[in-house]
């Protein structure tokens, strides 16, 4: 296993090159022409034949026999204007502010390591490069288009970079078995009114006022309708209305998300959002339209795979780079960020690991100023490859 890490460290410059090429030209959602072409070319250079799955997904297989281990990386960026100051910063209005460029580079590195050891594999490995994770739609699209057809996946793994300044780069956090990330649903609420002159608001119906009242009203769901121990998050992250100082628009559009760990909680939140939107709009003489855009279920880590990772990874990256308790700062390592890898976890035994890639900025994920630490790249590549090798060896 240590040899695997040394080989991964030997790929450091190549991994950085992959990461920076992807970081400089970030693409969002399912529209990933450059990113997908880059990944395909990199795989072909390794002698691995890529295959398109769904709208923009890519898969590739390594080894012989039945595909039994799946390794997944997400490829899409966010519609955020980068402010990192890096010499290879993006300038197209998008940004890899969630580390997906690192994930993709790590999996390309793992592909190189596994291809070198193809004759040693006791089975087949499926590489999954996924679009539209930030839309919570890419994994479902690939599943619907045959991702798992003809496979017998016994274990699936994903890594996610975290900006953990207190941990050395490449430190892996192994969560406990069970639910570790909440279900999520994205929504859009259109508050409809009647446009008018800004000096004569009484001649119209103000959707901005109605929308503002709704934003405030929605907060009361958490503070007055939900138990404080029932973990959930309701966030309004976009409020768009009007273009001119002297024109009251005829509509305002709010976008947000709701996340929770229990199906009944999620359904209650969705129901109340719809009810409140309708009633608040009516109160202010308008109307509301609620659209549920996309979502994913809770992410469930397989307890057997978590235990397996606890045994495998210390020998690979060193005891000092593995947190095996599944706890961070005294609290259970549950994420409040949702992850559509959850769709995979409900189909096959799966595990999501966090990998430290911080220390270069104080900014959180999705912030335009975040800077990830590239020293984590070889460790991520080694973890992907080592997990797959370990699972195949245990199965033979």
Per-residue pLDDT tens over the stretch 43-58: 999 999 999 999 999 9
Whether the CB-CB separation of 25 and 104 falls below 8 Å is answered with no
Cβ burial, residue 202 (10 Å; 0-12/13-18/19+): exposed
Q: What is the pLDDT of residue 176?
A: 87
Domains of the chain by residue range: 2-180+298-395, 183-295
Strand, coil or helix: what is 60?
strand
Pairing of strands 322-323, 247-248: unpaired
Q: What is the pLDDT of residue 333?
A: 56
Fold of domain 183-295: Alpha-Beta Plaits (3.30.70)
Q: Please give the Cα distance from 209 to 251 (Å, whole number).
A: 10
Which tokens hold the place of 248? 């009251």
Neighbours of 30 (CB within 10 A): 17
Q: What is the pLDDT of residue 325?
A: 60
The DSSP H or E segment spanning 129 is strand 124-130
The angle at the Cα of 211, spanning 209 to 216, to the nearest 5 degrees, equals 95
Identify the DSSP state of 76. -
**CA dihedral angle for residue 96, residue 98, residue 100, residue 106, rounded to 10 degrees:** 120
Radius of gyration from C-alpha coordinates of the chain = 23
Q: Please give the Cα distance from 247 to 211 (Å, whole number).
A: 17
Per-10-residue mean pLDDT of the chain, 396 residues long, equals 91 99 99 99 99 98 93 99 98 98 99 96 96 98 98 97 92 91 97 97 98 98 94 96 97 98 96 98 98 96 96 95 69 74 98 94 95 98 98 73
Judge: domain 2-180+298-395, CATH 3.10.20.600: no
Whether the CB-CB separation of 309 and 355 falls below 8 Å is answered with no
Q: What is the pLDDT of residue 327?
A: 56
Whether the CB-CB separation of 119 and 346 falls below 8 Å is answered with no
Please enumerate, as own/partner, the contacts of 273-277 that have beta carbons within 8 Å and a separation of 24 or more. 273/187, 273/189, 273/218, 273/221, 273/234, 276/214, 276/217, 276/218, 276/221, 277/189, 277/191, 277/214
Identify the DSSP state of 321. G
């Amino acid at each position: 296993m240590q040899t695997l890490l040394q080989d991964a460290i030997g790929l450091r410059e190549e991994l950085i090159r992959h990461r920076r090429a992807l970081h400089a030209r970030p693409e969002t959602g399912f529209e990933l022409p450059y990113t997908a072409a880059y990944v395909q070319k990199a795989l072909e250079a390794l002698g691995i034949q890529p295959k398109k799955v769904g709208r923009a997904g890519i898969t590739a297989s390594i080894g012989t026999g039945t595909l039994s281990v799946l390794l997944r990386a997400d490829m899409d960026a966010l519609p955020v204007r980068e402010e990192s100051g890096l010499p290879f910063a993006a300038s197209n209005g998008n940004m890899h502010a969630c580390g997906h460029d690192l994930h993709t580079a790590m999996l390309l590195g793992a592909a190189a390591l596994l291809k070198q050891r193809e004759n040693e594999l006791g089975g087949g490995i499926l590489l999954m490069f996924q679009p539209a994770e930030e839309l919570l739609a890419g994994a479902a699209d690939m599943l619907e288009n045959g991702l798992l057809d003809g496979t017998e996946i016994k274990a699936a793994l994903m890594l996610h970079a975290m900006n953990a300044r207190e941990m050395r780069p490449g430190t892996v956090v192994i969560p406990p078995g069970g639910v570790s990330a909440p279900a999520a649903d994205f929504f859009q609420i259109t508050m409809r009114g009647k446009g008018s002159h800004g000096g004569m608001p009484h001649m119209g119906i103000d959707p901005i006022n109605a929308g503002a009242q709704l934003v405030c009203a929605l907060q009361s769901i958490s503070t007055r309708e939900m138990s404080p121990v029932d973990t959930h998050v309701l966030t309004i992250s976009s409020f768009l209305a009007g273009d001119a100082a002297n024109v009251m628009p005829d509509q305002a559009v709010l976008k947000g998300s709701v996340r929770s760990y229990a199906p009944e909680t999620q359904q209650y939140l969705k129901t109340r959002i719809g009810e409140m939107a309708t009633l608040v709009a009516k109160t202010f003489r308008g109307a509301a339209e609620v659209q549920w855009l996309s979502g994913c279920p809770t992410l469930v880590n397989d307890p057997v795979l978590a235990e397996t990772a606890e045994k495998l990874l210390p020998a690979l990256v060193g005891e000092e780079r593995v947190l095996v308790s599944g706890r961070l700062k005294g609290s259970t390592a549950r994420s409040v960020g949702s992850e559509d890898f959850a769709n995979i976890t409900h189909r096959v035994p799966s595990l999501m690991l966090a990998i430290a890639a911080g220390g270069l900025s104080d900014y959180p994920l999705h912030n335009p100023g975040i800077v990830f630490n590239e020293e984590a790249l070889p460790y991520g590549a080694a973890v992907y490859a080592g997990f797959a090798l370990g699972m195949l060896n245990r199965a033979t």
